[in-house]
């Protein structure tokens, strides 16, 4: 993770996922824009609301006694389904969060599912219950409930579903193929996936080498106990740990000792070494991966090793390695990120296969994201906001009576964003594009700008980019940006990524407000620009937050020679890191390659999203096509210098 943890969750293009307790600390009305005043103000937080929030926290900790006690004190609370859920849920899990096979809450769960069937919370309860049924190995009940699970977004549940099929005699070889599409990130495996892999090996569907590869992926992330459960003892486990701790030394040592190992283990070790060298932007990463490529066994590399193989090739401008790496990827890994489709097209073009390169670009050219924009430029198409689809007042007014929006709005008023998002997003299911735009416009009218972005971002054919890329607080931000000659579209692109326009957003390390300014950074900037009598409690003031954030963004831009790529990275991870990454370059490198090879996952995603946002903001504001490639520019190597900027 970087030094600046943003919101207590992860922002993706158009979506915001927040940890359940992200906004539960201060129970007060959120500081919403003035447009909220056009609707009736939300009711004040009552004593019952405070008890409800306590109940939620008890349920999160799986404190059965406290949850029962608090639930019994809310007999007539408006959200009876949540009271019931928070009372039942702690009975299904132990204090460590593991599902309890011995729970006696069967009748309560079944009653809840029957009473609230078809709601967002019933689907959440079904998710929990499936984990219990899977732990019990009650496959008949599991299969019955799994068929009704709408979101189907839990890796453990998917692993239990495969276990169920295996127990009922399905082809283990086919199940192993399906498992490879599920076993991507060990962070989400839990006990279910740790049971699935050895079961597939025992049934002959997965080889011991493949199981060890899954275990090795866990070991690379520091889950050594999980690694052994998945694949047993690994003869190269010590080398994997060594590569993670000191890849430079491990590269040198293994170069001398590689012949002692089988070709399979040599290939895997070179892949692991390549991954961790690439994350250090070490030029030997390309050499390590080429040694692995010569030996083969691409399928035994972890997801991280497969992806960093491409990045190592990009950094070294080794297009042959880029092409081979993408062709050797797990199909599930390759298809989940448009980056690999774009870079494959670029590699094909270098290889002289122009027609196939165009075919690759066409696969993602209709996507309104970073790589969709780059693909359109490769095809000679312009990047401009699509024609705006307008919706009627009647359609917008109809959204006001939607149950999920009413409930969601009330949860937002209590700073329960996790529950609010659940209700809001559930209401969006199966909506047409025009209905989504009407819902986004409704969210705009009540001042919920994160929901404006989230909702408008879901449309497929009919769009309104003034809603995808809204400009609240423009009367305040424009003069600030104009005074310091800061590009307004870039500033908005950054705010959209930082906070989704939630003024009272705060991170676990204290970054706050629209521009998620850190307290120490705020003090530094305030002093530099001569803001008198500044104290950090003023960061909650919209104008102060925008002033300090904009000035800091401008400072890092100047400090980094006017590069929006470097400055965006610096705003997220700090100027010293951005400079160090640039220092590692051996020659001028296009901005897209620099962005894709940033070592921090959060910062890499952040930079791409900020600049993609900025390009569309420019298009919306100016009404003309914009070039993302031009915005990214070329990054030239330069000796790192110590910056006084925080």
Q: 209-252: per-residue pLDDT in tens?
A: 999 999 999 999 999 999 999 999 999 999 999 999 999 999 99
**pTM for the complete prediction?**
0.92
* Of 315, 365, 371, residue with least CA distance to 343: 371
Whether the Cβ atoms of residue 382 and residue 365 lie closer than 8 Å to each other:
no
Q: DSSP code of 414?
A: T
Which residue do the tokens 């399979």 mark?
A: 264
- Which residues does residue 590 pair with via DSSP β-bridges, in sequence order? 634
- Across the range 611-615, mean pLDDT stands at 97
pLDDT in tens, 174-216: 999 999 999 999 999 999 999 999 999 999 999 999 999 999 9
Determine the pLDDT at residue 640. 59
- Which residues does residue 11 pair with via DSSP β-bridges, in sequence order? 16
**H or E element, residue 16:** strand 15-18
Determine the pLDDT at residue 6. 35
- Is residue 13 over pLDDT 60? no
DSSP structure string for 87-104: HHGGGTB-TTS-B-TT--
pLDDT in tens, 117-139: 999 999 999 999 999 999 999 99
Determine the pLDDT at residue 645. 87
* Alpha carbon distance 277, 275 (integer Å): 6
30 CB-near residues (< 8 Å, 6+ apart): 23, 412, 413, 415, 502, 503, 504
- Is residue 36 over pLDDT 60? no
* Alpha carbon distance 645, 628 (integer Å): 27
How much of the chain, in percent, has pLDDT values that exceed 70?
Answer: 93
Determine the pLDDT at residue 638. 82
Backbone conformation region of residue 171, classed left if phi is above 0, alpha if psi is from -120 to 50, else beta: beta
* Of 221, 385, 326, residue with least CA distance to 596: 326
Q: In the numeric block, which tokens belong to residue 606? A: 């952040």
509 CB-near residues (< 8 Å, 6+ apart): 3, 4, 5, 518
Whether the Cβ atoms of residue 199 and residue 162 lie closer than 8 Å to each other:
no
Task: Give the chain's mean pLDDT.
Answer: 92
- Is residue 475 over pLDDT 80? yes
Q: In the numeric block, which tokens belong to residue 428? A: 């969006």
- Across the range 27-47, mean pLDDT stands at 49
Q: In the numeric block, which tokens belong to residue 28? A: 């007060």
Whether the Cβ atoms of residue 123 and residue 154 lie closer than 8 Å to each other:
no
Determine the pLDDT at residue 43. 63
Distance of CA 229 to the CA centre of its chain: 28
- Is residue 478 over pLDDT 90? yes
Determine the pLDDT at residue 646. 86
Start-to-end Cα distance in the chain: 17
């Amino acid at each position: 993770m970087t030094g600046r943890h943003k919101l207590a969750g992860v922002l993706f293009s158009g979506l915001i996922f927040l940890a359940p307790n992200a906004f539960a600390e201060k129970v007060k009305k959120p500081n919403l824009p003035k447009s909220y005043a056009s609707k009736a103000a939300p009711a004040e937080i009552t004593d019952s609301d405070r008890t409800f929030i306590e109940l939620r926290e008890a349920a999160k900790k799986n404190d059965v006694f406290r949850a029962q006690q608090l639930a019994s004190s809310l007999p007539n609370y408006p959200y009876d389904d949540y009271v019931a859920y928070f009372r039942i849920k702690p009975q299904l899990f132990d204090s460590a969060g593991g599902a309890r096979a011995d729970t006696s809450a069967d009748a309560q769960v079944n009653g809840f599912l029957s009473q609230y069937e078809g709601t967002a919370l019933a689907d959440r309860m079904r998710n929990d219950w499936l984990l219990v049924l899977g732990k019990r190995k009650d496959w008949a009940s599991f299969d019955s409930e799994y068929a009704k699970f709408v979101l189907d977004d839990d890796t453990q549940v998917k692993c239990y579903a495969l276990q169920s099929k295996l127990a009922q005699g399905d082809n283990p070889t086919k199940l192993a193929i399906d498992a490879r599409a599920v076993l991507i990130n060990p962070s989400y495996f839990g006990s279910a996936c740790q049971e699935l892999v050895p079961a597939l090996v025992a049934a002959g569907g997965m080889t011991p080498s493949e199981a060890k590869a899954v275990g090795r992926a866990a070991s690379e992330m520091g889950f050594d106990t999980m690694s052994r459960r998945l694949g047993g003892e690994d003869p190269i486990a010590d080398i994997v740990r060594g590569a993670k701790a000191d890849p430079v030394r491990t590269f040198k040592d293994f170069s001398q000792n590689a012949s002692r190992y089988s070709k399979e283990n040599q290939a895997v070790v070179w892949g692991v070494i390549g991954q961790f060298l690439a994350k250090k932007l070490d030029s030997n990463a390309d050499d390590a991966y080429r040694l692995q490529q010569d030996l083969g066994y691409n399928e035994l590399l972890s997801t991280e090793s497969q992806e960093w193989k491409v990045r190592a090739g990009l950094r070294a401008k080794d297009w042959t390695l880029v092409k081979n790496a993408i062709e050797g990827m797990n199909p599930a890994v390759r298809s989940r990120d448009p980056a690999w489709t774009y870079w494959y097209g670029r590699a094909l073009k270098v290889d002289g296969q122009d027609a196939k390169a165009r075919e690759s670009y066409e696969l993602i050219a209709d996507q309104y994201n970073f790589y969709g924009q780059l693909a359109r430029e490769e095809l000679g198409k312009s990047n401009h906001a699509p024609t705006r689809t307008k919706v009627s007042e009647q359609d917008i007014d109809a959204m006001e009576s939607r149950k999920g929006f009413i409930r969601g709005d009330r949860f937002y008023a209590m700073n329960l964003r996790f529950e609010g998002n659940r209700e809001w997003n559930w209401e969006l299911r199966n909506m047409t594009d025009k209905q989504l735009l009407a819902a986004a416009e409704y969210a705009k009218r009540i001042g919920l700008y994160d929901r404006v972005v989230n909702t408008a971002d879901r449309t497929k054919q009919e769009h309104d980019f003034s809603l995808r890329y809204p400009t609240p607080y423009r009367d305040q931000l424009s003069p600030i940006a104009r005074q310091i000659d800061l590009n307004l579209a870039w500033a908005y692109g950054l705010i959209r990524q930082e906070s989704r326009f939630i003024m009272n957003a705060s991170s676990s390390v204290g970054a706050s407000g629209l521009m998620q300014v850190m307290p120490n950074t705020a003090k530094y900037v305030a002093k530099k620009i001569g803001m008198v009598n500044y104290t950090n409690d003023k960061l909650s003031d919209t104008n102060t937050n925008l002033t300090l954030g904009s000035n800091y963004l401008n400072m890092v831009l100047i400090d980094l020679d006017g590069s929006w790529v470097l400055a965006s990275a610096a705003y997220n991870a700090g100027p010293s890191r951005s400079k160090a990454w640039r220092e590692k370059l051996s020659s001028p490198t296009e901005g897209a390659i620099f962005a894709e090879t940033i070592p921090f996952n959060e910062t890499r995603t952040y930079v791409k999203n900020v600049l993609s946002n900025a390009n569309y903001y420019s298009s919306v504001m100016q009404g003309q096509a914009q070039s993302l490639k031009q915005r990214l520019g070329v990054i030239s190597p330069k000796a790192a210098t110590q910056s006084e900027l925080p």
